[in-house]
Amino acid sequence: MDLDRIVGHKDIIEHMQSSIKNNRVNHAYILDGPKGIGKMTLARAFAKTLNCEKGGTIPCGSCISCKTFDENNNPDIIYLTHKTAGITVDDVREQIVKNIVLKPYRNRYKIFIIADAHKMNTAAQNAFLKSLEEPPSYGIFILLSENSSNFLATVLSRCVVFKLRPVPYDAAARYISQVKGIEYDDAVLYSRYSMGNIGKAIELIDSSEFRELRDKSAEIALQIEDADMIRLYDIIDGIKEDRERLVRMLEIIYMLYRDALVYIKTGDEKRLIQQDKINCISGIAQKAGSAALIRRCEAIEDTAVKLRNNGNAQLLLETLFFKIKER
């Protein structure tokens, strides 16, 4: 996908195109954001544009550089790979340090795209720093990161850092609807569940596991409404999910509460994000008032953060469900 066709990230794209137009391209960039947010798509589009033989801010698609890029066969765009959980000093030395001294095969730039760059250990970053401090005129590094705080200050100071933000829900939904061939209203549902992360939204659409979890979450949300204290413990004991799926379950229940709030205020099913869960939503709306639903949403947000920070799942669920039952 070319820069002019990417959904979202407008400010970053304009910065990239301006740097090309004004011949002020930096030697190193960090694209930072969660998995699925579009880092690789943006990096590849930037790399293709940089090496287009026409030299514009939109690749021509017809020169040898563009054609070999589209065929995943451009010799001057290198993707760093790693076989272990992290990126080691040997990975950096073999794939970057030894390679950067060789001039491009036929393009203006030799571009290194480093996925999972936040996984470079300290030794690897120090080895990389030698290439980063005095890069040849043709060398460009694009680091893809999910946590830029993992980089050494000396690495960060030599890079232009772009923070990728979620795509607006309506823009994400339009794109998802077109790409996946689903109804716009369904695409809105997935764009909201993914919090504007298009990659994650597409992953959820293709996941039967997610659909099953969504049904289970709606069932649990309804059970909580009528549960006494003993039943509440039974519900908690029956949740056998790993931490990631547990967070996802809470996000689903959060969305149900948000829809219940809308239903209380408007009574209009068409305004709901999850219209297919109207029985669950109306059931919640009948038993919980607006103030209680707002408190529940706040409690879920707090719990999800603590779960991501490795808090005790059992204790956090108990605390959350007790708060949900408060009147």
302 burial (CB, 10 Å; 0-12 / 13-18 / 19+) is: middle
**Confidence check: pLDDT of 186 > 80:** yes
Query: Is residue 92 a contact partner of residue 124, using CB atoms and an 8 Å limit?
Result: yes
**Average of pLDDT values for 218-228?**
89
Whether residue 27 contacts residue 141, with contact meaning beta carbons closer than 8 Å, is answered with yes
In this structure, what token pair is assigned to residue 129? 């720093």
Which are the contacts of 314, defined by CB distance < 8 A and separation ≥ 6? 236
Question: Which of the residue ranges 122-126, 178-182, 310-314 has the most confident prediction, judged by mean pLDDT?
Answer: 122-126
Predicted confidence (pLDDT) at residue 216 exceeds the cutoff of 90: yes
176, 190 in Cβ contact below 8 A? yes
Model pLDDT, residue 15: 94
Domains and CATH numbers, the chain: 3-163 (3.40.50.300), 207-325 (1.20.272)
CA distance 140 to 138: 7
How much is the pTM? 0.80
- In Å, how far are 19, 78, 115, 278 from 95, measured between CA atoms? 27, 8, 13, 54
Average pLDDT over residues 134-161: 93
Q: CB atoms < 10 A from the CB of 294, how many? A: 14
List Cβ neighbours of 114 (8 Å cut-off, separation of 6 or more): 80, 87, 96, 120, 141, 142, 143, 144
Mean pLDDT score across all residues of the chain = 90
Per-position DSSP letters for 132-181, written without gaps between them = HHS--TTEEEEEEES-GGGS-HHHHTTSEEEE--PPPHHHHHHHHHHHHT
| Residue 1 clears pLDDT 80, i.e. is over it | no
| CA 240/CA 213 separation, integer angstroms | 12
- What is the C-alpha separation between 277 and 292, in angstroms, rounded? 20
* 52 has pLDDT over 80: yes
pLDDT at 146: 92
What number is the average pLDDT over the span 229-256?
A: 88
Q: Which of 123, 146, 253 is nearest to 197 (CA)?
A: 146
- 248-292 pLDDT, tens digit per residue, is 899 899 999 999 999 999 888 778 888 888 899 999 998 888 999
Q: Which two tokens stand for residue 315?
A: 């204790």
* Separation of alpha carbons 27 and 297, rounded Å: 44
* pLDDT for position 71: 92
